[in-house]
Amino acid sequence: MLEVPTVPSPSVTPQPPAEAVAPLMRGLDVLRRLTDAESGDGTLALADLARTTGLARSTVDRICATLAHLGFVRLDGRDASLAPPLMTVANACLDALRVPGVLGPLADELADELDESVSLAVPDGDGIRFVHQVLRRRALSISFRVGDALPGGGCAPGLVFRDDLPLAVDDQLVERGLVAVAVPVRGPSGDVVCAVSVVSHTSRHAAGELAGAVRGALEKSVRSMESALAATSYASGLRPGPRGLSSKSGADIGLAPIVSLARGLTVLTAFDGAHPTLTLTEIAEATGLARATARRALITYEHLGYVTHEDRAFRLTPRVLTLGCAPLSRTTLPRIAAPHLAALSKRLGESVGLSVPDGDRVRCTARVTPRRVMSVDIGVGSRLPAKDTAAGRLLQGGGESAVADGPEAGLRSVAVPVRDRAGRVVSALDVTAHQGRGDDDAWTEALRDTAALIAADLHVTSRFVSVPVH
C-alpha cells in the first residue's frame, strides 16, 4: 500500500459559543485524534491523547472511560482504541446521506464491469470525503477508506465540485501513477449530490486515455444512479420510540461517566436514512433528551461543523465521518474478533479461534491460546481436515453447534457459527482443548455468547462497507 496524503481533520480555532457543551467538545476531539492516529488503526496511548489534545491526563481518562462505557472505545492497559460500536455514528451519517445506500450497489456493478476501483465522494467543506469505495486489489493500489478526505483542488471529484465540471481527470495529482476520472451525479432537483470516480494506474491507462476507455460505462452508470436517486422516497419513516445510546460495556471502568458527553453523542444517532433532517423537537423526542440539552448539543455540533441547519431542519455533515469511520471501516473479521477471542480464552482458560472453509479443509484465521505447559498448537493460517475438527464439521454440515474428537488424538473441539448481516455463516468459532478438561454444554454456551458479540460488531461495521472474513 502506498502512503496516501489524506487531509487531517480541521482543527477548530474560533471561540466556541457560550452555550457549547465543553465536555462534548473534548470528547469529540478525543474521537477525532484516535481517528487520525498515525498507525491508522484508531489506537493511541492515553498519554499521547493527553499530549495531542492538551487536556489533563485525568480528563482524558474520564472521557475515555465515558466512551468505553458507551462501547465506542476500548481501553487496553495504557492504550485507547476505537471500537466497532462507534460505527453507529458513521452509519447514521452514511444512512442520512443516502448516497452510499442508494448508489453503492451501482458503484459496485460499475467496478465489476470495468475491473477498476470505483469510489463515491461528497463535498465536505473545501474538499471531498469518500463515502463508498470499491477496491480492485492490484500490485500497486492506492486505497482511501470510507471517511477519508482529500482537498478540493487535488483530486478528480474535488475538481468536479469546485469547478462544476461534467468530467474531471486526476492525472497523478494525489499520487504518482494514480489516475482517476470523476463525473457528477445529480439528485432529482438537479443539484450535484456526489461524484463517482473510476480510479486506475498509469501502468493500465494514461490519464487522457482512461476517460475515453471508461466514459461509456460511466455515463450509463450515472444515468442508473440518477434514476435510483429520483426513485428514492424521501418520506419520513415511522420511528420506533427513542433510540438513545445504550451502555455497551460491562467493564468496570471505575470512573463515573461524563453525562453531558454521553447525552450529546446520542444526538448524532437520531438521524438516519428515514430521517436525514430533523427539527429540535424531533431530536428531543428521538433521543429522549430535554429540549434544552438537545439544543446545546446542536449548537456544539454546528460550531464544530458536524451539523448544519436550514430553517428548522438540522442535518449531519460528512464531517461526522471523522469520528472513527476510516479506521473502523478498513478491518477484517479476525481483527474485529480479536478482543472477544482474548476474553473468551481467558474465561475458559483454553485455546479459542476462528476458521473459514478451504476446500475439504478449514483454515484458521485467528487464534488465542493461553500460555501453559501443554497447549494446543494451531497457528493462524494452518489448514486442518474439516472432518477432524468441530469447526470443519460445522462449516460443512451446518447447524448451531458441532463437536469433534480431534484434530489430533487426545483433543476435543466444540464450534458454533458466526453469521453476517444476512444470516449466512461466515466463520466458525471454536474451543479446542485436551479431552476431559471441559464440559461441552458449558463451552457451547460460552462460545455462543462470544459469537453474538463478534456478530454484533461485524454487523454494525459492515452496514455500508464490506468486511473481509479473513
> Where on the chain is the footprint of ligand PHB (CB under 6 A)?
119, 142, 144, 155-157, 170, 174, 180, 182, 197, 199
Q: How far apart are CA 225 and CA 405, in angstroms?
A: 53
Nearest to 161, CA basis, from 187, 191, 188: 191
Specify whether the CB–CB gap between 237 and 274 falls below 8 A. yes
Start-to-end Cα distance in the chain: 18
Q: In which element (H, E) is residue 187 found?
A: none
Q: How far apart are CA 287 and CA 302, in angstroms?
A: 18
DSSP assigned state of 387 = G
Per the structure block, which three cell numbers stand in for 452? Answer: 453474538
Q: Which residue in this structure is represented by grid cell 461466515?
A: 426
CB atoms within 10 A of CB 391: 32
Q: In which element (H, E) is residue 180 found?
A: strand 178-186
Q: How far apart are CA 138 and CA 361, in angstroms?
A: 28
CB atoms within 10 A of CB 233: 7
Specify whether the CB–CB gap between 2 and 239 falls below 8 A. no
> Following DSSP, what letter does each residue of 268-315 receive, concatenated?
GGG-BTTBSEE-HHHHHHHHT--HHHHHHHHHHHHHHTSEEEETTEEE
Q: Minimum Å distance from CB 103 to ligand PHB?
A: 14
Specify whether the CB–CB gap between 353 and 362 falls below 8 A. no
In terms of Cβ atoms closer than 10 Å to its own Cβ (0-12, 13-18, 19+), residue 206 is middle
Per the structure block, which three cell numbers stand in for 330? Answer: 478498513
Q: How far apart are CA 428 and CA 365, in angstroms?
A: 10
Specify whether the CB–CB gap between 463 and 87 falls below 8 A. yes
Q: How far apart are CA 214 and CA 293, in angstroms?
A: 51
